[in-house]
Amino acid sequence: MAISRRKFLGCITAALGTTTGAGALAHAASNKDFTGYPDSFGVLHDSTKCIGCRKCEQACNEVNSLAKPGKPFDDLTVLDQKRRTGEASYTIVNKFGNPPVFAKTQCNHCQEPACASACFVKALKKDPSGAVTYDESLCVGCRYCMVACPFNIPAYTYNDPLTPKVTKCTMCLPRIKEGKLPGCVEICPREALIFGKRDKLVTLAWEKIDRNPDHYFKHLYGEHEMGGTSWLYLSQVPFTKIGMREDLGVTSAPKLTSGALGAVPIIVGLWPVLLTGVYAISKRKEKIAEEEQESAVQNAKDLASQEMKDQLLKLSKKMTKEKETAIANGVKKALVEVEEAAKKAEQAAADAAEDATNPETTSDDSEKEEE
């Protein structure tokens, strides 16, 4: 159903009127200082121990029942190209430099997640366990989380038009609740991944750095970046050399975006109106596409019909020509036969006339018959 410009502006005015108060509340709430849950879990990734075997990728794929990749997990040629996480790959390993250094990438499960602060329907939340969880039933598909994430992690199932969703590492929260290790941690053959309470992992990491100052770059990535993350990293080289950002600072996303997020409830109020417009546009596109498809099918039918008619006409002309040629040949043959018959008849008549005008020949013949 079409909507007039006046009616559309009226809907916007009504939506603005109902969300002004909520906007002020949201602005205040977004300034809240939150540094993560106490006793939350985390994972320490020691990249100096990683051998790039991709076992963690395989375990993640199996634990989360993801689609199998085009190449098997024991095919290490994929490491020759830099990859990123996707809808069917919650974690990936990349190779850097020569001699090679390997680093694992997945959701870092920030203490104060940018994705959660950008999600106005609270589909993404920070769980007391340390994991950043995702509720598919609440998601409206705005994909603000993908834009907000400084680590470029969340992916979207664009190939699923009926039930699209945001995908990322879950930190294997269902397994953690069962008392199990995350799949990638459990399978790692070199113990490059250590699971435990985040505060204890921070202490362990600095003990490693202090004991081996020549082996480790003196920095624990994730301790303070963007307010801190649940995944922590050790490296032998500066983290920029293994594809990690060092320009993020230590301020959390909610503090950086508190002013901008104050307008989020207005977006919430406008969402039904905007969705109505999007739905109308989508249906219009579908109708146009359907009409174009029907027109294309009809054109194809007409073209095929015309081609068939042309072929039949050519065949008819060919048969008519062949028939006319056959008739002409038959007539010509008959005329030749008639002409030959006429010549034979004339010859016979001439012979008979000659016999009649020669009595001697006739008499001799009679005498011979009497003898």
Around 135, how many Cα atoms within 13 Å sit in the side-chain half-sphere?
Answer: 12
What amino acid occupies position 283? Answer: K
pLDDT of res. 17 = 43
Residue 103 DSSP symbol: E
Residue 229 DSSP symbol: B
CA dihedral 114, 118, 120, 123 (to 10 degrees): -50
- Which of 207, 251, 229 has the alpha carbon at shortest distance from 106? 229
Number of H helices, E strands in the chain: 11, 9
Paired tokens of 22: 């909520």
Q: How far is CA 23 from the centre of its chain?
A: 37
pLDDT of res. 128 = 96
Give Cβ neighbours of residue 113 (< 8 Å, ≥ 6 apart).
124, 126, 132, 253
94: β partners: 103
pLDDT of res. 194 = 98
Report the pLDDT averaged over residues 333-342.
Answer: 76
Q: How far apart are CA 88 and CA 73, in angstroms?
A: 13
pLDDT of res. 333 = 77
Say if CB 35 and CB 228 are below 8 A apart. Answer: yes
pLDDT of res. 219 = 98
Q: How far apart are CA 155 and CA 84, in angstroms?
A: 10
pLDDT averaged over every residue in the chain = 82
pLDDT of res. 47 = 97
pLDDT of res. 174 = 97
* Least confident piece of the model among 1-5, 202-206, 323-327, 345-349: 1-5
Report the pLDDT averaged over residues 112-119.
Answer: 94
Paired tokens of 270: 């406008």
Give per-residue pLDDT as tens, 287-310.
677 777 778 778 877 887 787 778
Strands (E), the chain: 41-46, 92-96, 101-105, 124-126, 132-134, 155-156, 166-167, 193-197, 231-234
